[in-house]
Amino acid sequence: MKKYIKALVAIILSVVISVTFFGCTKQEEEPPTETTESTTAYIPPKNVLTGEEISSSSDGKRPIAVVVENHPDARPQWGIGTADIVCEGEVEGGISRMMWIYADRTKMPEQVGPLRSARPSFVEFSTFFDSIFVHWGGSHSKGNYTGGYETISAKNIDHIDGMGGGALFGRSKERKVSSEHTGVMNCEKIADVIDSNGFRDTLDENNVVSFKFNETSSPAGDTAANKVNAKFSSRTDTRRFTYSTDDKKYHTSDWETDTAFQNLLFLNAKSIYITAPYNGSTTTYLNYEWTSGTGTYVADGKACDITWSVDNGKLSIKDSVGADITLNVGQSYIGFVSSNNGGSVDCLGEQ
C-alpha cells in the first residue's frame, strides 16, 4: 500500500513539475517572415510625337499622315487642331499645304479635311515618321517635274488615295464651296482600310525622327519669341503665332479658328521652282530638298537655332550644341521655310 501511495505521489509531482515548467517557459517565437512583393511603378506608353500618354490601341502602331489643303474656301479645316504634328509648306502658286500626322489614332476626330493631293516634298517628309500616307489625288510627272504619284511609287509608300473612293472617304455638303474643297476622311474607318490593304501596321522606331521631351515645360533658348512671323517664301502669306503665358502655347488664327501648339519648328530647306505643262498651259511647282540645313526651334516664349539633316532616310534635328532636340510635351508645328527663295522666320519680344 505504501509503495502504491509513493508511486502515486511521484506521478503527481512529475505532472506538477512538467506543467510548471512548460507554463513558465515559452518557446522563443521566431520573428514573422517579412513578405516583400516586387512592385514596379507602371509606366504608361508614350506618344513618340508628343511625349504624352498614348492609347493602348495606338501604342506601337504607325502614324497616319494626312494631306490637308489651306485654300481660303477650305477654312476652318475639319479637325483643325487635333493632329499631333502639323507640317506646312509651299506647293504652287504661292499657296501652302498641310500634312497632319497622328500617332494616337484615338485623337483623330470624326472627319479630317478637306483632303488634298500628294506633292513630292510631302510624300518624302511623311517617311521621316514611318507613317501611312493619306491623300486625295496627286500630281503627275511632266517635263522636268517628278510628280507626287511617281514619288509614291518610287519610294514604295504605303498610301491610301481618296480618288479610289471607298468607305474611308466622302464629301461634306455643309459648305457652299466647289467640290474640290469638300473631300473628307471618315477617321473611324482607318484601321479597317489599313488591314484590308495589308499594310504593315507596326511602328519601326528606327525610321522615326528622334524626339526627346522635357519633364516640365522649358524655354527653347535665350532669344525672346513672344510673337513669331514666318514666311515659307517671298511668294507666300505670313504665318503668325502669338505666345500665351496662360497655357504656354503658341496660338494662330490664320486658319479662321484658334489653333495652338507647344512647339514650333521651322526647317530651312532649299526650294526649287519647276515650270511644267498643265492643261494646255503651264504651272510652276515647288519641291524642297530634304538633305540638311538650319532652322529655328520656339517654345515657352523663347527661341534657339537648330540644325537638321537626313541620313539614310532618317531625319535628325539637333539643338545649338549638337544634341538631339528636346521638345516640350504636346503638339508641334513644323514649317518648311525656303532658304534660297525669300523664306524667313522673325521672333519678336513684344507682347
Q: What is the pLDDT of residue 124?
A: 98
* DSSP class per residue in 77-95: PBTTT--SEEEEEE-STT-
Predicted TM-score of the model (pTM)? 0.88
Q: How far is Cα 306 from Cα 220, in angstroms, rounded to an integer? A: 10
Residue 303 zone, left/alpha/beta (φ > 0; ψ -120 to 50; rest): beta
pLDDT of residue 296: 98
Residues in the chain: 351
| DSSP code of residue 27 | P
Other beta carbons within 10 Å of 153: 12
User: Quick one: DSSP state of residue 177?
Assistant: S
Give residue 40's pLDDT: 78
Question: Could you tell me the domains of the chain?
Answer: 64-348 (3.50.90.10)
pLDDT value at position 24? 39
pLDDT lower than 70: segments of the chain: 1-39, 351
CB 134 within 8 A of CB 115: yes
DSSP structural state of residue 125: H
Which 8-state DSSP code applies to residue 138? B
Q: How far apart are CA 312 and CA 91, in angstroms?
A: 25
**Nearest Cα to 187, choosing from 101, 131, 110, 134?**
110
Q: What pLDDT, on a 0 to 100 scale, did the predictor assign at position 180?
A: 87
C-alpha cell at 19: 506543467
pLDDT tens digits for 229-267? 999 999 999 999 999 999 999 999 999 999 999 999 999
pLDDT digits (tens, 9 = 90+) for 153-192: 999 999 999 999 889 999 998 888 888 899 999 999 999 9
The reported pLDDT for the residue numbered 56 is 94
